[in-house]
Structure 1
Amino acid sequence: MSIENTTSPPQISFDTPAQLRLRKLRKLKDKMAGVGIAFGGISVILAILLIFFYLLYEVAPLFQSAHMEKWQHNGQTVENYASPGEGKTLYLAMEEQAEIGLRITATHAYFFNTLNGDIINESALPVPEGVDVVSTAVISEPQRLFALGLSNGSALIIKHDYRSTYPDGVRVITPSLEYPLGEEPLSVSDRPLALLGIAYSGDSWNIIGGDDKGLSQVSVAVEENMMTGEVELESESSTLPAFNIGARKLLLLPDNRWLMIAGKNKIAVVDLQADGGPQTVQVAEATKGEITTFKMLLGGNALLVGDNQGHISQWFLVRDEATDWILTKIRSFESGSAAIDDIAIEQRRKGFAAINNDGTLRLYNTTAHRNALTDKVADGQVDYIAYAPRSNAMLIEQNSTLAFWAIENEHPDISWSALWEKVWYEGYEEPDYVWQSSAANNDFEPKYSLMPLAFGTLKAAFYAMLLGTPLAICGAIYTAYFMVPAMRRKVKPFIELMEALPTVILGFLAGLWLAPFMELHLAGIFVILILVPISIVLFGFIWAQVPDRIRFLIPEGWDAALLVPVIILTVMLSLSISVPVEELLFGGDLRLWISNEAGIPFDQRNALVVGIAMGFAVIPTIFSITEDAIFAVPKHLSYGSLALGATPWQTLTRVILPTASPGIFSALMIGMGRAVGETMIVLMATGNTPIMDMNIFEGMRTLAANIAVEMPESEVGSTHFRILFLAAFVLFLFTFMVNTLAELVRQRLRKKYGSL
């Protein structure tokens, strides 16, 4: 008899209203999560792109070419106009706003409107009757000083000044002429002053004048009577020896020591303070052609020489190995093949304008060794060119007609060579990489080399990674592979907690405590680096020899904690024997031994301090990612290796580490990115000196620290301001390239070892 089961299995419906609602809700959640993740990812990419393009937007103007066109006023082009007044132009200049020009002739001074040539003020020069003007000398364009050399052997020193007033809220500029040494021309020589050179410093004047057959020197001191307020002049005259080079032009450097005499194609260097009196110390061949222009660059340290073959060269004095000063040709500027008619010097930058006798104007910057503009501004030979003080305008005179030009040349002192190559700066013995963005004086030569900053960035990152990488990776290996879970649960959060420590605190401690401490215990620090590894290995060997009944008193996996007192005691021992070690091996002072005996410069805030401080900053990052990568290796791989007879160390090196290598490599790259972009530690723990020296006892300046230090002081829109953005752009590109390369390597490692 069979018994049939008549009970039917329960029917489960997946299409009930509740199930349908659940599926719709789950689908909606999945879709929203997908959209949210996609939106977040795209937002991150867009944010990075916005940062990239914003930096590029701020940097791009640095590399724009100069532009020059006729001046525009109220939408109308300013046409050429006749030179105001009569006579040949001896000197041409403009005031700060480029609204008023000054034209000096042999008898009169004319202040005129630069837009139309209308004379605003006219005054006769106090030149004695029957005396002619035979030479001119620019003393200082920024101070608006120039001089006229007269045929009776006297010199007239003139200053043009401009006073701004605001009657009824409208600016009015009132020009005037002043005579610092009086309206009476100062007697210099018994010869006509066909040659004239003047240097001015404070209340002291040095005037040299004469002709190619003889020169005289007059030193003038201006003293003000404290009782009456009257100005008194005390002068001292002397005759200079004949130099016999066919002098055509004189330049007297502001230090009153060096006189430069230009002949047909040579330059004579005269030391006015030489033992035994002034004497020629050098005669240098300046050009193969004939010198046509001979002027001083801003600051009075460098000479510009133009010739009739279109060549322009820059020269300045360089101290040689014998401590003698040698006039040296620094760089040349090609300016076509036509003769150089005139050179106009910028009043606030190391730049100048040169015009050939075919009417081609070129704008240069000496530091950047850059030709910023080449433009045809006239047909044929030009008589005179004059820069506005802000270098935004230029007056060009040709055949008694003036043309008023507007110039847009905001950043001429930037070029690839100025940023990344060695540059021979004024006053330096040789070309060098230098960052020095500001100084106290207005004739300063900015030095914008990014090489010291890039070098300092890599140097800081190198020493930080050198210290942090071995400790972080070895600690992560032990924690993830050898340490018991109970101990791992305590150690890992503690180390990761270090990452939350603000870097400003680390920098503060490194700069104010660690750096002085290491200087006082330098020998002890090196003893620590030697004894701590030895003590760890020695303790491990001794612990292995201890009887099992004693070793087994320590729970399995906790024996590593015994190393903590060992390391502490070793550090204390090392510091305690620091002084005896210094006395025994280094004469009592390791720092002096390093500086004097080894010849290695030592700075208290150095790369060793930065390496230790930044090492502590990058260790938690590298440790955490590396530990997670090793711990995430599937256990069946390690168990299978051990089951096949491999030792734990073989399993680690041949199975675990290769499998975890993509994660370990990512940890290193992220740690390096952290080190490269670190700001506060290197800002506070180094001397912030932008030098290029791999010496571990020297400091450095990084790109990030430089931005933090100088950005608040930079003028918005200035070259300095945009250079700092360029430094940020370089840092951005560097980290982007490193991360991209790291991702490519990580993917290859994952592909190679992903099949294990």
Structure 2
Amino acid sequence: MSDSTTDLKSSQSAEAIAGRKRRRSMETRRSVIWGERIAGGVITVGGLMVIVAVLGIMVFLFRVVMPLLDGGELLGNVRYQLDTGQDVIWVNGDEYQTLGSVIAAGGRVITYHVPTGTEVSRAQFDFNGAEVTAVSGTLGRDRVALGFDDGTVRFATTGFEARATARRNLPEGLSDLDARDRMLDGRVFTEVGTGDFRTLSAVTELAAPEAISEHPIIAIDYRIGGTRERPTLAFATVDAAGQVRVSRSTVQINMMTGQETVSTTTVDLPELGLDAGVSVTGVLLSGSADRAIVSTDDGYVIRYDLRDMNNPTLAERRRVADAGVAVTAMTFLSGEESLVVGGEDGSVNVFFRLQTGTDTTTDGRELVRARSHAPMPAAVVDLSEAQRQKEFSAVDELGNVWIYHSTSDQVLFELQRSGDVTTQSSAMIFPRSNGVMLVSQGGEVEAWQYTQRHPEVTLGVLFSRIWYEGYGAPDFVWQSTAGTDLAEPKYSLVPLIFGTMKAAFYAMLFATPIALMAAIYTSEFVHRSVRATVKPTMEMMESLPTVVLGFIAALVLAPIVEEWIAAVLLGFIAVPLGLMIGAFTWQMLPPAVVLRFDGFPKFVLMGVAIMVTAWAAYMIGPSFEDLLFYGDFKAWTSGRIGTGTPFMFLILLPLSYITVAIAYRRTLGHRARERMRALPRAAAGRLDALRWVATLFAALALSYLVAAALTLVGYDPRGGFVDSYQQRNALVVGFVMAFAVIPNIYTLAEDALNAVPGHLRAGSLATGATPWQTAIWIVLPTAASGVFSAVMMGMGRAVGETMIVVMAAGNTPIMEWNIFSGLRTLSANIAIELPEAVKDGTNYRVLFLAALTLFIMTFVINTLAELIRQRFRKRAFQL
């Protein structure tokens, strides 16, 4: 009795303890609750901060980029009358918009204060009673050529001299011109940021006359070219008799003594051959004096080829205006590659001199209309180019003053004279392109000050084809810097976007199959011990710095690939072929051997097979190059030898194999499988290997026949995705970027495949499916969302990769799919050029626009990827 009572009490006590334990397990400690709340809050705040950071980056990029598209701002204008007493024939102004000077027809030179019109100094040129009949000046407007009615030409200097004056050396007796400037004895003092003063004064000089013709000079142009050691002074004249002459003086300066030696050559050009009643309206000469252009009032320009001064030729007669419309003004833009022509009907057109190979001109070049700008309301009477940009001003007979930017094809400002518009006037753009000054023949001055920070950039320039100087047609071009300041910057982002997509495409072309096949293999077929070794090794690849990979690609891999390009191409065939041979050999081994060496030994044998086939490709490479590429692969890619059949044969081989394999499966495949099931393992393996060999040879034959047929119909891949070979190219970039991307894709895809529930595999295998069929038709579709995410993560890494592309891609912003040519991506371009870009300059802001473009590209790609992933995920839930 006592024992039973004791047992009952013990059982009751045990039940009570168990009950208390159960009650304790149902209660959550406060520390856990608070920990969860804190963790949830931290995660929420962290997520919100990530969103805020992303939005902040986007807002910052937009803030830097938006000024690119801002319009110009007119800051103000002034108007006053100068006491010239004579008709004004020339105007000049300094870069600070402080001093201006005019030359009057009687030789009077007046220097004045631009903001107020106060006369600063006055000089008088002695023309010896001759009357000025033509005037022209250099791009800087400080050197002027004057043609006279007695057939002589004189050269004048009307420039400005700038000096620095310390505050302690400032002279006494200065008079105030305005709040900024002071004046004394023909000098204007302007305080600068350092506290010292900039001192400006006029420089005037007149050279002796040179007899050029017996007739009055009706048109003249004056240019300075050459180098500092050997400058060239050239001018062209047209006299009243219609004779065109060009004089070129070469000045050789002894840098030790400063002595100058001048040699002058003057030639008469061939006759213009004008019709009766047609007269010359202007003449232009290039700075190197290799061409002269004469305009007429019947709408033509006549171009002379002066490369051989001993034998000048009339190269071209070109109509540049509609019939009956006179050419009323013309000028070169800076660089002298663009000819701006203004017409009597207000038209403003730009012409390029292009090497077209035409037989209608003597030099194979011709003037081609590149742009037709917005026409002015009335006849254009004056054109004046900017000194540092592709801008010019145009004045019509109604007093309209328009500022054009030629490259961006836009009218920056439409200004209107407020004074007497009936008097003829001429304009000039200040050297910094921040203002324009108009002076009428009567001496009335009107000046406008404005700001236009980025006139060369529009959405069309950034994303459309633009016809640049020196190019045969409109194109997408990125070239932010050049060898000289005369070349205009080219800011098309399209080549950079194209290069980004090209690099990502070739990288993914190599990386995606390798990474996904590796993930499927280690997830579904290898032993756990092998997977435990392979996966960490693959993940360690991701820790390699991309700068090291880029260094290896540029200095090691690129030269090797160039030297053994045929072996590399053969390797694309040899390595898969070697793996297939090894697989079929494995099938023919006895089951006991297979079971004994399955796992890690089998994986090592695969590696050995890859190395053996790679060595075989290396050894056979030269013979392969002789057989398919006529012994010189580089010469073949450039189209100098051979046909396109060999390469098309290689490209079409995988597709041909797939086609033959599908045809075999749909015709003989079922019966062959039934027969192999009845055979022992070794015999079935031999039969399967024989089937594979037959399929391979059939694919080889089909690929060659299709390639030969394409050649017969005239198709050649060269000039398209295959072209001339460059050492640093997309092939090398694809190799190395694939090496960097594979770990990302492999790790995420392998995790997604392993996350597939085991009962799905078991069910598939239970119905008789093979492990391969299970992996392809069950596991992979179920894990499709994760696998797709892995691929898109890899693509995001490839799109944003910088250092590999910087070092291995050649940095050539060209648009061609040629796998053997270089490229430049958005990220690489930012890394290369941003350190040298001037803050808030055009190039600086365009680079930030490139960053914004890359940001938007990745955002769009990731958004589309997420939408597709969600669709895959819904389908997986239905399984």
Counterpart amino acid of 2:273? N
Flag the 1:562–1:224 CA change in 2: closer, same or farther, 3 A: closer
For structure 1, which segment, 32-41 or 229-238, has the greater mean C-alpha deviation from structure 2 after superposition?
Answer: 229-238
3-state SS of paired residue (1:577): helix
Aligned residue number for residue 92 of structure 2: 93
3-state SS of paired residue (2:267): strand
Aligned residue number for residue 672 of structure 2: none
**Alpha-carbon offset, residue 138 of structure 1:** 2.3
2:199 to 173, 178, 196: 173
**Alpha-carbon offset, residue 583 of structure 1:** 4.0
Aligned residue number for residue 69 of structure 1: 75
**Alpha-carbon offset, residue 190 of structure 1:** 2.1
Flag the 1:226–1:29 CA change in 2: closer, same or farther, 3 A: closer
3-state SS of paired residue (1:390): coil
Q: Within 5 Å, give how 1:263-302 maps onto structure 2.
A: 263-264=296-297, 265-273=299-307, 277-288=311-322, 289-302=325-338
**Alpha-carbon offset, residue 584 of structure 1:** 4.5
Q: Does the aligned pair in 2 maintain the 1:253–1:301 contact within 8 Å?
A: no
| 2:253 aligned with 1:253 | no
Aligned residue number for residue 315 of structure 1: 351
Aligned residue number for residue 506 of structure 1: 549
3-state SS of paired residue (1:704): helix
Aligned residue number for residue 224 of structure 2: 200
Q: Does the aligned pair in 2 maintain the 1:610–1:682 contact within 8 Å?
A: yes
3-state SS of paired residue (2:474): coil
For structure 1, which segment, 377-386 or 285-294, has the greater mean C-alpha deviation from structure 2 after superposition?
Answer: 377-386
RMSD across aligned positions (CA)? 2.6
Aligned residue number for residue 833 of structure 2: 710
**Alpha-carbon offset, residue 684 of structure 1:** 0.5
Flag the 1:549–1:485 CA change in 2: closer, same or farther, 3 A: closer
**Alpha-carbon offset, residue 86 of structure 1:** 3.3
| 2:64 aligned with 1:58 | yes
1:368 to 404, 408, 411: 408
Aligned residue number for residue 74 of structure 1: none
Rg comparison, structure with higher value:
2
**Alpha-carbon offset, residue 87 of structure 1:** 2.1
Counterpart amino acid of 1:262? S
Per-residue CA shift, 1:269-292, capped at 9, x if unaligned?
Answer: 122346983332222221122222
Q: Does the aligned pair in 1 maintain the 2:408–2:457 contact within 8 Å?
A: yes
| 2:362 aligned with 1:338 | no
3-state SS of paired residue (1:98): coil
For structure 1, which segment, 341-350 or 9-18, has the greater mean C-alpha deviation from structure 2 after superposition?
Answer: 9-18
Q: Percent identity?
A: 34
Aligned residue number for residue 76 of structure 1: none
Aligned residue number for residue 727 of structure 1: 850
| 2:384 aligned with 1:384 | no
Q: Within 5 Å, give how 1:157-236 maps onto structure 2.
A: 157-159=155-157, 160-168=159-167, 170-177=196-203, 179=205, 183-202=207-226, 203-213=231-241, 214-224=243-253, 229-236=258-265
Structure 1: runs of 5 or more not aligned: 72-78
Flag the 1:13–1:544 CA change in 2: closer, same or farther, 3 A: closer
Q: Does the aligned pair in 1 maintain the 2:238–2:283 contact within 8 Å?
A: no
2: CA distance, partners of 1:224 / 1:663: 74
Per-residue CA shift, 1:319-353, capped at 9, x if unaligned?
Answer: 11347010111110113432223333221111122
Counterpart amino acid of 1:360? N
Q: Does the aligned pair in 1 maintain the 2:529–2:599 contact within 8 Å?
A: no
3-state SS of paired residue (1:480): helix
**Alpha-carbon offset, residue 586 of structure 1:** 3.7
Aligned residue number for residue 569 of structure 1: 612
2: CA distance, partners of 1:649 / 1:225: 85
Counterpart amino acid of 2:527? V
Aligned residue number for residue 547 of structure 1: 590
Q: Does the aligned pair in 1 maintain the 2:292–2:305 contact within 8 Å?
A: yes
3-state SS of paired residue (1:500): coil
Counterpart amino acid of 1:649? W
Flag the 1:360–1:754 CA change in 2: closer, same or farther, 3 A: farther
Flag the 1:696–1:729 CA change in 2: closer, same or farther, 3 A: same
3-state SS of paired residue (2:580): helix
1: CA distance, partners of 2:121 / 2:403: 31
Per-residue CA shift, 1:489-546, capped at 9, x if unaligned?
Answer: 1100100100010000100000000000011111111121111111111111111111
2: CA distance, partners of 1:298 / 1:84: 33
Aligned residue number for residue 82 of structure 2: 83
**Alpha-carbon offset, residue 393 of structure 1:** 1.7
Q: Does the aligned pair in 2 maintain the 1:358–1:378 contact within 8 Å?
A: no
Counterpart amino acid of 2:371? R
**Alpha-carbon offset, residue 659 of structure 1:** 1.0
Structure 2: runs of 5 or more not aligned: 168-194, 643-717
**Alpha-carbon offset, residue 137 of structure 1:** 1.0
Per-residue CA shift, 1:413-440, capped at 9, x if unaligned?
Answer: 1122222222221122222222111123
Aligned residue number for residue 352 of structure 1: 392
| 2:508 aligned with 1:465 | yes
**Alpha-carbon offset, residue 16 of structure 1:** 11
1: CA distance, partners of 2:829 / 2:258: 49
Aligned residue number for residue 26 of structure 1: 32
Aligned residue number for residue 669 of structure 1: 792
**Alpha-carbon offset, residue 647 of structure 1:** 2.4
1:593 to 598, 616, 636: 636
**Alpha-carbon offset, residue 40 of structure 1:** 0.7
Q: Does the aligned pair in 2 maintain the 1:84–1:118 contact within 8 Å?
A: no
2: CA distance, partners of 1:604 / 1:364: 43
- Between Structure 1 and Structure 2, how many residues are aligned? 743
Aligned residue number for residue 134 of structure 2: 135
Flag the 1:276–1:114 CA change in 2: closer, same or farther, 3 A: closer
2: CA distance, partners of 1:483 / 1:552: 13
Aligned residue number for residue 707 of structure 2: none
| 2:272 aligned with 1:238 | no
Q: Does the aligned pair in 2 maintain the 1:62–1:411 contact within 8 Å?
A: yes
Flag the 1:350–1:227 CA change in 2: closer, same or farther, 3 A: closer
Aligned residue number for residue 742 of structure 1: 865
Counterpart amino acid of 2:754? F
1: CA distance, partners of 2:804 / 2:288: 43
Per-residue CA shift, 1:98-146, capped at 9, x if unaligned?
Answer: 1111222121222211111112222222x422111111112222x7333
Aligned residue number for residue 684 of structure 2: none
Aligned residue number for residue 438 of structure 2: 396
Counterpart amino acid of 2:862? N
Per-residue CA shift, 1:697-723, capped at 9, x if unaligned?
Answer: 111111111111111111111111111
Aligned residue number for residue 75 of structure 1: none
Q: Does the aligned pair in 2 maintain the 1:84–1:117 contact within 8 Å?
A: no
Flag the 1:375–1:112 CA change in 2: closer, same or farther, 3 A: closer
Q: Within 5 Å, give how 1:600-749 maps onto structure 2.
A: 600-749=723-872
Aligned residue number for residue 49 of structure 1: 55
Per-residue CA shift, 1:641-678, capped at 9, x if unaligned?
Answer: 22233222222222211111111111111111111111
Q: Does the aligned pair in 1 maintain the 2:357–2:365 contact within 8 Å?
A: no
Per-residue CA shift, 1:397-456, capped at 9, x if unaligned?
Answer: 356332332111111111222222222211222222221111232221111111211111
**Alpha-carbon offset, residue 572 of structure 1:** 1.4
Per-residue CA shift, 1:455-513, capped at 9, x if unaligned?
Answer: 11111111100000000000001111112211111100100100010000100000000
Q: Does the aligned pair in 2 maintain the 1:335–1:362 contact within 8 Å?
A: no
**Alpha-carbon offset, residue 610 of structure 1:** 0.6
3-state SS of paired residue (1:431): coil
2: CA distance, partners of 1:547 / 1:454: 55
3-state SS of paired residue (2:783): helix
Q: Does the aligned pair in 2 maintain the 1:189–1:209 contact within 8 Å?
A: no
2: CA distance, partners of 1:226 / 1:403: 43
3-state SS of paired residue (1:693): coil
Aligned residue number for residue 455 of structure 1: 498
2: CA distance, partners of 1:389 / 1:691: 34
1: CA distance, partners of 2:316 / 2:270: 15
3-state SS of paired residue (1:597): coil
1: CA distance, partners of 2:142 / 2:828: 40
TM-score by length of 2: 0.80
